Structure 1
Amino acid sequence: MEKMKAEAELVFIPFPGTGHLVSTVEMAKKIISRDDRISVTVLVMKFPFDSTHKQSPIHEDHQRLRFVDLPKYKPSEEQTSGIFMADFMNSNKLHVRDVVSQMTAEPIRLAGFVIDMFCTSMMDVADEFGLPTYVFFTSSAAFLGLVLHHHRLDVSDIKNNHLDAELSVAAFANPFPVKLLPTVFLDKEGGGSAMVLNIARGLKQTRGIMVNTFAELESHALDSLTNIPPVYPVGPVLNLKTDPHHHPFEEIMRWLDDQPPSSVVFLCFGSMGSFGGDQVTEIARALEKSGYRFLWSLRRPPPKGKIEIPGDYEDPDQILPEGFTERTAEIGKVIGWAPQVAVLGHAAVGGFVSHCGWNSTLESLWSGVPVAAWPMYAEQQMNAFEMVRELGLAVEIKIDYKRDFKAAENDGVLVTAEEIESGIRQLMDGGDEIREKVKEMSGKSRAAVIEGGSSYNSLGRFIEDVVKNST
């Protein structure tokens, strides 16, 4: 489709993980829908182990939005996470430079790069073309504050002696437990800690940072972000569309239609969320003992030692306790893939057992569904801390649970059926205080993005800076 003429073009470079990629594309759509002076080209990088970009509904036709798929990255050898990321970005720099060189021959004026936090090394390419760099930060303002705080951490001291200590971090009103730090923050030998420091340096050198949050949710964290480039809270930025033609969709929604209002607890753990057999047994025991209606998205772990997106079981009974399906047939449904946004928006759903990925957190608030927090990796423990301890918008199952991507099991560490059942009971029957707070925040999240709302106005300020910079 031929693109309409626009005054300025932004080059978006998202990180290829699902949670980053989808929300970044939604951000691009928001910008071009808001202002016809801007067009966007999204450069899609590809992991060697992942075809996420093909699974996500991102390649939609739009007159001022186009996608360029970059060649798939091929790692040379087994690498630690920090080295892999550096090599992945350096490899893609060449492709980005080639695409942008071709774009400079077009009549439209390039106004800058909009990059993911993990792509700050792409600022070198932007500098080569004399372009400013903005960041779209797909996580919370609190996590942005934690990343910027990282240079103050003595990683060796924390790792060896003080895992039970607490930190004073400006982005949090309460002391932050060291044991909830993302694993990469403490990865000195593998290069993870150095990677975070480099990200923080890059963030401070950008022209501005859009954050997928809204002022009414994270006022304290946003107020703490001083002495850095302008911060634009523009969220919640969500992909609220679900493909109704995806095979299980109709079956799942019909089942929910038959359940009473607010009676179902929904369990779903994100695009990378899966558990080994022992943990699945504990979850099943908790659900059966609790007696609540449930919809459980159960995913099959990748082979041990491999980083792959979990798949669906051909027959979930192969991993579930014997007789579980028959005993819970009247109250529960076990599925694979879940249309999460549609499920959270259904009147039958009364609670959400979640890994606390930031997109899932924002989706639950948008739908007014309270969460029982069970984080697993990345910044999810921090998100859970913020939701449970800082904001009082969620209950806890176990917020210090951590899982290794590369392990099919979590080194024998289990969240017990008793812990899970307790969290579910708090979620579904623990009184109205949290439920009412979540409902109120739902209204604020929707008000933030409409005309006159806090995020609507913040996005307007960002757009004006882009257009001004392109003239």
Structure 2
Amino acid sequence: MASSDGVEGGTPHVVLVPLMAPSHMIPMVGMAKLLASRGAVVSLVTTPSNAAWMEGTIQRCAGSGLAVQVIVLRFPSREVGLPEGCERLDMIPSKSMTRNFLRASEMMQEPLERRLRESRIAPSFIISDAGAAWTRALGRALGVPRLVFHGYGCFALLCQHNLHVQKTHLSATSESDPFVVPGLPQRVEVTRAQLPGAFSTSVDMEDIREEIREGELSADGFVVNTFVELEPSYVSALEETTGKKVWTIGPLSLCDRESPYETEGEDKASNEASLCVRWLDSMKRGSVVYASFGSLARLPPSQLVEVGLGLEASGQPFIWAIKTRGEEASREFESWLGDEGFEERNKGRGFLIRGWAPQVVILSHPAVGGFLTHCGWNSTLESVCAGVPMAAWPLFSEQFLNERLVVEILGIAVAIGVKSPTIWGEEEKAGVQVTREEVARALVNLTDVGKDAKERRRRARNLAKAARRAVEDGGSSLTNLDLLLRTVTQEMSPKNAVVVK
């Protein structure tokens, strides 16, 4: 990706405030590098433990001459009843502590404001995660524009906005009763249970959900990790219905080829990636299925057993990234792997990874022909960028909406067929939702040589080409980014927003 000589009208100083969760921070790191490559000074806000795994990425930025600095603020875990050092959403002891975590995040506002007022270059504008609604007050205090970054794509955002306005979901007779999402070009049905958490009936988070919604409504615009060619009608419809400018600047995974997790233990990560690549090199082109369910989800051992047996029954070679929640679940599942002889039985045909997996490296390998995924937006985009068709197994958040996009609208995925969400942090309650037979059937369908499968692969390859073009000079996403920097710096910001002390 080529660098810009800068943005006319002065050097903008962009402050990035992610929600402290892996799937939210990773695209923000990519955004930091991308903004810096277009001539901006970037401050990325984080906490001590998160700074540790960002360190390698930021050092590489400095080595490349990119102006990315990290503002490290203490995360007040103890003040809200969290364990000391609990600085990421995936680290909280239980889902019931989500409120505590978000309140601790809010407490970062005052120290961040102090740091920014002391900055050599005053901030020009803020891009904050939608979940960091407290930055609304920060933007007002500093007198600078605030753009909201969503971890969703435009299709899911439009669905969510239309439901907030029209409240169609409230007419459903039950949580499992399908209804049509209003205001879309295509007919899309979902159930109330499949909607993002913003539509939960739980009262304990109602005030926080309202704060997040108000933060979106008061934003000066939206920044979205997508590209126009992926969901063109939904980008324009989102702008029209919200009345806000939508800047699509992705896929950010193409801007940051190295996940920040790789810096957490560079030797381990490098070794894992090397082993994966060597194994993949021995496989036929397009033959391998990669199975992973993201950074937050932890399927219970009973469901993991069905995943494993389904992968085995599909007859395809596979890479499986396995994550469990807690030591007891880990012991139970490892016992099954050994007692049943699964790992030994699939030696040579199955490659098992415990924990972190070099996902972008795996998906980009020509031997990979399918991705069994939870449909998180980062994973969905990474699959799109690699031109790999998906088997869609949504779990929670907006993932059921993403499933509808890739299966019904884009035609680059097959549905596993799961109907009910698996609640994050309460996965054991869900038990087995998808059987080994359903897993195998979907994967055989995905990797078939028939007409439908060939068409899926053709569409996926074409979208991958469009994704790469979008982040090249003259492409839609880089053009949007340059326009964003000019518009916000010159038209929205106060004239004295960028000053050198």
Shorter-chain TM-score range: 0.7 to 0.9
Superposition TM-score, scaled by structure 1 size: 0.87
Q: What are the superposed Cα offsets for residues 74-106 of structure 1, whole Å, 9 maximum, x if unpaired? A: 264599999965654454444333233233244
Following superposition, the deviation at residue 156 of structure 1 comes to: 9.2
Select the residue among 72, 76, 80 that pairs with 2:75.
72
Identical residues among aligned pairs (%): 27
Letter in 2 for 1:27: M
More helix by share: 2
- Equivalent residue for 1:418? 437
- Equivalent residue for 2:467? 445
Supply the distance in 1 between the matched residues of 2:478 and 2:167 (Cα, whole angstroms): 39
Give the match's secondary structure for 2:351.
strand
- Equivalent residue for 2:279? 255
Select the residue among 400, 424, 431 that pairs with 2:419.
400
Q: Which moved more, 1:265-274 or 1:243-252?
A: 243-252
Following superposition, the deviation at residue 15 of structure 1 comes to: 0.6
Q: Say whether 1:346 aligns with 2:365.
A: yes
Letter in 2 for 1:210: V
The size of the alignment, in residue pairs, is 455
Supply the distance in 1 between the matched residues of 2:99 and 2:31 (Cα, whole angstroms): 25
Following superposition, the deviation at residue 329 of structure 1 comes to: 1.6
Q: Say whether 1:466 aligns with 2:483.
A: no
- Equivalent residue for 1:236? 251
Following superposition, the deviation at residue 110 of structure 1 comes to: 1.8
Give the match's secondary structure for 1:161.
coil
Following superposition, the deviation at residue 120 of structure 1 comes to: 2.2
Superposition TM-score, scaled by structure 2 size: 0.82
Q: Say whether 1:355 aligns with 2:368.
A: no
Which ranges in structure 2 are unaligned for 5 or more consecutive residues? 1-5, 83-91, 496-501
Q: What are the superposed Cα offsets for residues 369-422 of structure 1, whole Å, 9 maximum, x if unpaired? A: 111011112111111111111221111113434212223524334301111011
Summarize the Cα distance change of 1:87–1:332 in structure 2 as closer, same or farther, 3 Å threshold: closer
Summarize the Cα distance change of 1:218–1:155 in structure 2 as closer, same or farther, 3 Å threshold: closer
- Equivalent residue for 2:301? 277
- Equivalent residue for 1:7? 11
Aligned 1:54-453 pairs, distance under 5 A: 54-55=52-53, 58-60=57-59, 61-62=61-62, 64-74=67-77, 76=80, 88-152=101-165, 157=170, 161=174, 163-171=176-184, 173-179=186-192, 181-182=194-195, 184-225=197-238, 226=240, 227-238=242-253, 239-241=256-258, 243=262, 245=267, 246=269, 247-302=271-326, 316=334, 318-319=336-337, 322-336=340-354, 337-429=356-448, 430=450, 431-453=453-475
Q: Which moved more, 1:288-297 or 1:194-203?
A: 194-203
Name the Cα RMSD after superposition.
3.0
Q: Which moved more, 1:179-188 or 1:424-433?
A: 179-188
Q: What are the superposed Cα offsets for residues 212-267 of structure 1, whole Å, 9 maximum, x if unpaired? A: 11111111211211142211111111131264732322222111111111111111
- Equivalent residue for 1:307? none
- In the alignment, is the contact (CA less than 8 A) between 1:155 and 1:186 conserved in 2? no
- In the alignment, is the contact (CA less than 8 A) between 1:113 and 1:126 conserved in 2? yes
Q: Which moved more, 1:217-226 or 1:195-204?
A: 195-204
Supply the distance in 1 between the matched residues of 2:335 and 2:280 (Cα, whole angstroms): 21
Q: Which moved more, 1:221-230 or 1:153-162?
A: 153-162
Following superposition, the deviation at residue 189 of structure 1 comes to: 3.2
Summarize the Cα distance change of 1:320–1:144 in structure 2 as closer, same or farther, 3 Å threshold: farther
- In the alignment, is the contact (CA less than 8 A) between 2:94 and 2:425 conserved in 1? no
Summarize the Cα distance change of 1:265–1:191 in structure 2 as closer, same or farther, 3 Å threshold: same
Q: Which moved more, 1:14-23 or 1:312-321?
A: 312-321
Q: Which moved more, 1:281-290 or 1:86-95?
A: 86-95
Supply the distance in 2 between the matched residues of 1:313 and 1:264 (Cα, whole angstroms): 28
- In the alignment, is the contact (CA less than 8 A) between 1:211 and 1:232 conserved in 2? yes
Following superposition, the deviation at residue 459 of structure 1 comes to: 0.9
Following superposition, the deviation at residue 451 of structure 1 comes to: 1.2
Q: What are the superposed Cα offsets for residues 115-169 of structure 1, whole Å, 9 maximum, x if unpaired? A: 0011123111210121211122222011221332343365994676363131333
Letter in 1 for 2:424: F
Supply the distance in 1 between the matched residues of 2:284 and 2:244 (Cα, whole angstroms): 49
Summarize the Cα distance change of 1:235–1:368 in structure 2 as closer, same or farther, 3 Å threshold: same
- Equivalent residue for 1:39? 41
Which ranges in structure 1 are unaligned for 5 or more consecutive residues? 305-309
Letter in 2 for 1:240: R
Summarize the Cα distance change of 1:98–1:329 in structure 2 as closer, same or farther, 3 Å threshold: closer
